[in-house]
A and B are shown apart, each in its own frame.
Chain A
Amino acid sequence: MSRAPFDALVTQHGARVWRVCRALLDEADADDAWSETFLAALEAYPTLAHDTSIEGWLVTIAHRKSIDVLRKRARLVVGDVPDRVAPATGRDLDLARALAQLPQRQREAVVLHHLGGLPFAEVAVQLQSSTDAVRRASSDGVRRLRVLMGEQP
């Protein structure tokens, strides 16, 4: 079985990957994370298992690369809350800042499901968890986001 040209993946999932990156980062950093996501995917692509869900795979890399950039920017150690997200404008900044303050599990579930557009079952596969657990984490995460962003619960 042969693989689709990698270019087709960029066309099909480019916007989705950018949504994930931009949810956590300002625009310039999101562009960087977007490139790093597709470069990492390009490197692994020829040997990727044929039954892999392409969108789940890409969204998970995008989340990981975005966190890498966040850590680099904020000089975080694992588990720390970032004290600063690089400056941006408008509501997306509020979302990025709020997302960065969620516990890791909640943030992963929210980003993969709400920004990456993965069904909970696929999120569960990517996070090696159960559908119920990731659904709960996402729901808790969204509730927490509303509080952080000053919306009435």
Chain B
Amino acid sequence: MTGAAGSLPGAGPTLAPDALPRLRARLADRAAERGLLDVAYRALETPVGTLLLAGTPKGLVSVTFDGAAPDETLGRLAATLSPRVLEAPARLDPAARAIDDLIAGRARAFAGPLDLALARGFGRDVVERLREIPYGETRSYAEVAAAVGSPRAVRAVGTACRRNPLPIAIPCHRVVRSDGGLGQYAGGVDAKRALLAVEGAALAD
């Protein structure tokens, strides 16, 4: 068989480039209806960077600052939570609004359910204490270490804050150094300063 003899008569169908987003949105809806959407995600443009939000049926499970290049985080979520991961912006609209409200100073606490599945062991203990730091106030890493009952684990508290799976929603930005320095932040020091400024927290600069 040679040349055109082996090819199909007619051009065959091709998918219009603008059709895929519509198909994907419908797939995400149906997957959720059938209980097959374990991890939904979307990007969110904010003044502190392009965020990646991910949620499970239980609630918002992950906030990261790599919304513009999310492959590594999505791979990690697939490995640790479930490979049933789909982009589903509409399903994360309420969480996106709640995060937006926090960043803009319109809300004092995250409004909506959180899934702490990615915070385990000591990290989970630290994250739980972070939720108790009042809006507009800060605590030192040493104070948080004392609060979790491991006063010498200051460095481990720093690591746990950096690995907080839900920054902004769970205020790890309110933990600063004992000498007044801001300390590190997953979203960068500028983002940390901006989040504290919106809250009107007193900063030693």
A interface list, Cβ under 8 A from B: 2-8, 10, 14-15, 18-19, 22-23, 30-31, 34-35, 38-39, 42-43, 45-46, 91-92, 94-95, 98, 110, 114-115, 139, 142, 145-146, 149, 151
Q: Are B23 and A31 in contact (CB under 8 A)?
A: yes
Determine if B143 is an interface residue (Cβ-Cβ < 8 Å). no
Bound CA–CA A151/B34 (angstroms): 45
Taking CB atoms, residues of chain B closer than 8 Å to A30 are: 13
Minimum Cβ distance to chain B for residue A150 (Å): 9
Contact check, A10 vs B9: say whether CB atoms are below 8 A apart: no
Inside 8 A of B36's CB, which chain A residues have their CB?
Answer: 39, 42-43
Chain B, 12-62, CB within 8 A of any chain A CB: 12-15, 19-20, 23-24, 26-27, 30-31, 34, 36, 39, 41
CB-based contact B6/A142 at 8 Å: yes
> Closest CB of chain B to A36's CB: distance in Å?
9
Beta-carbon contact of A14 and B23 below 8 Å: yes
Of B9, B20, B85, which one neighbours A5 at CB under 8 angstroms? Answer: B85
B residues engaging A (CB < 8 A)? 1, 5-15, 19-20, 23-24, 26-27, 30-31, 34, 36, 39, 41, 74-75, 77-79, 82-87
Judge whether B78 and A14 touch: CB under 8 Å.
no
Sample of 15 A–B contacts (CB below 8 Å): A2-B83, A5-B74, A6-B85, A10-B24, A15-B14, A18-B15, A22-B13, A31-B23, A34-B27, A39-B36, A42-B36, A46-B82, A92-B10, A95-B8, A145-B8
Contact in complex: B26, A95 (CB < 8 Å):
no
| Sample of 19 further A-B pairs with CB below 8 A, known A39-B36, A43-B36 | A2-B83, A5-B39, A5-B83, A14-B15, A15-B14, A18-B23, A23-B13, A30-B13, A31-B26, A34-B23, A35-B23, A35-B26, A45-B84, A94-B10, A95-B12, A95-B13, A139-B1, A142-B9, A146-B9
